[in-house]
Structure formats: structure tokens, C-alpha cells
């Protein structure tokens, strides 16, 4: 089922997700819906908060992006990114590392808004997958960026928080207008 994506101005995007203790059938259904919603919106990642659920759960799939490479290491050895996708991250813990890397970023909760964001190049991840099994890996490139962006969502952090002051200033009108539209829509529906 495709779920409505919450947009900037919706308070749920600022809420930290609760840890998931058990992969119930409701969680499995939510994972399915997150993927369906993300693919329909042509995104590379989607966090539970973006569909109104305050949980430590995000989904990622970078396969559709051809022009921005990703790297993956499993047990210290280079591994195939595509066969590791799609990726479910439950209760993820990350350790970013490497040099700061700047690249374009967007967010499905901020339609039509893009900016360059600087984040560490690599990230070490431990999490549970969709079957509740513990996974550990190291990612670089787009995959690292997507993981850091999604884990931010799980902690109520948005990419505008990591924008340069100059970019944020130049996007001020668009951000305020989006926030206002979201508030009006929330009022109508609630």
C-alpha cells in the first residue's frame, strides 16, 4: 500500500523513533508499505517517520541511481552493492568515518528542494534486517549518504539542519511556504 508521505512542518518528522523489539506482522507490513511508497516516489530511502510512524526503521535502495556510485564492504572485503539491496535497517547504529564529502541531497518530505550537504564519506553500520537478523557492513558513496540521511530521520534530524547557512537562507521562502502548506493540510485532516 502506498502511504501518504509527511512533509516538512509535520511535527512527526521531529520525533525520535522508538526501538523495535520484535518483528511483528505489523512491522513486516510497514516495511512492505515503506518500499512501495519509496519506489512510487522514486526515492532511494524512506524512514518510518516520513509515513507518520515513530520507529527506528528505514528502507533504502540505491540501485536506480546510475550516476552516483556506492561502495560496500562485508567483513572488511569489497562486496556487490546491488545484491545487498533492497536494504532494511531496524534499530541502526552508525559510525561515520573518513573525509567530509559534499554532494547534492533531496528528501521526499521536501518536494522540489535540493541542496549540497557535507557528510563523512563512509559509514559503519550495525542493525537488524527485516528478518530480525543482525547485520554489519561498511558503506561509501551514495549508499553512505543515504544511510546517514535516513538515520538522521530516525532521530528527528532533517537535512535542512545540515545545510549551509547560505543555502538555508536562499531556500527560506520555499521552506516557509512548504511548512505553511503542511500545517494547513494537517488542520484540514485533523
Q: Which of residues 25-84 bind Zn ion (CB under 5 A)?
A: none
Nearer to Zn ion, 106 or 120 (CB): 106
Residue with smaller CB distance to Zn ion, 107 or 163? 107
- Measured from the CB of residue 120, what is the shortest distance to Zn ion in angstroms? 18
- Report strand pairing: 70-74 vs 77-78: antiparallel
Does 107 interact with Zn ion (rule: CB under 5 A)?
yes
Is residue 150 among the annotated active site residues?
yes
- Say if residues 127 and 147 touch (Cβ distance below 8 Å): no
The active-site residue out of 150, 174, 176, 180 is: 150
Q: Cell numbers 545484491 label which residue?
A: 83
Sign of the Cα pseudo-torsion (179, 183, 184, 188, in order): positive
Residue sitting closest to Zn ion (CB) = 107
3-state helix, strand, coil split of the chain in percent (to 5) is 35, 30, 35
The residue (of 23 and 62) whose beta carbon lies closer to Zn ion is 62
- H or E element that contains 77: strand 77-78
User: Count residues contacting Zn ion (CB under 5 A)?
Assistant: 1
Q: Which residues carry out catalysis?
A: 150
In the complex, which residues of this chain contact Zn ion (CB under 5 A)?
Answer: 107
Amino acid at each position: 500500500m502506498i502511504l501518504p508521505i509527511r512533509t516538512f512542518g509535520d511535527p512527526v518528522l521531529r520525533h525520535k523513533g522508538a526501538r523495535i523489539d520484535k518483528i511483528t506482522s505489523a512491522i513486516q507490513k510497514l516495511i512492505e508499505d515503506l518500499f512501495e511508497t519509496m519506489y512510487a516516489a522514486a526515492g532511494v530511502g524512506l524512514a518510518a517517520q516520513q509515513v507518520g510512524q515513530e520507529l527506528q526503521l528505514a528502507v533504502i535502495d540505491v540501485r536506480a541511481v546510475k550516476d552516483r556510485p556506492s561502495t560496500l564492504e562485508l567483513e572488511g572485503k569489497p562486496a556487490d552493492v546491488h545484491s545487498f539491496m533492497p536494504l532494511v535497517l531496524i534499530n541502526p547504529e552508525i559510525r561515520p568515518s573518513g573525509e567530509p564529502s559534499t554532494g547534492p541531497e533531496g528528501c521526499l518530505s521536501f518536494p522540489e528542494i535540493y541542496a549540497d550537504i557535507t557528510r563523512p564519506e563512509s559509514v559503519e553500520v550495525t542493525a537488524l534486517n527485516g528478518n530480525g537478523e543482525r547485520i554489519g557492513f561498511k558503506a561509501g558513496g551514495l549508499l553512505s549518504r543515504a544511510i546517514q540521511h535516513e538515520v538522521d530521520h530516525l532521530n528527528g534530524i532533517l537535512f535542512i539542519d545540515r545545510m549551509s547557512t547560505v543555502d538555508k537562507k536562499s531556500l527560506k521562502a520555499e521552506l516557509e511556504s512548504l511548512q505553511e502548506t503542511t500545517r494547513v493540510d494537517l488542520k484540514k485532516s485533523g
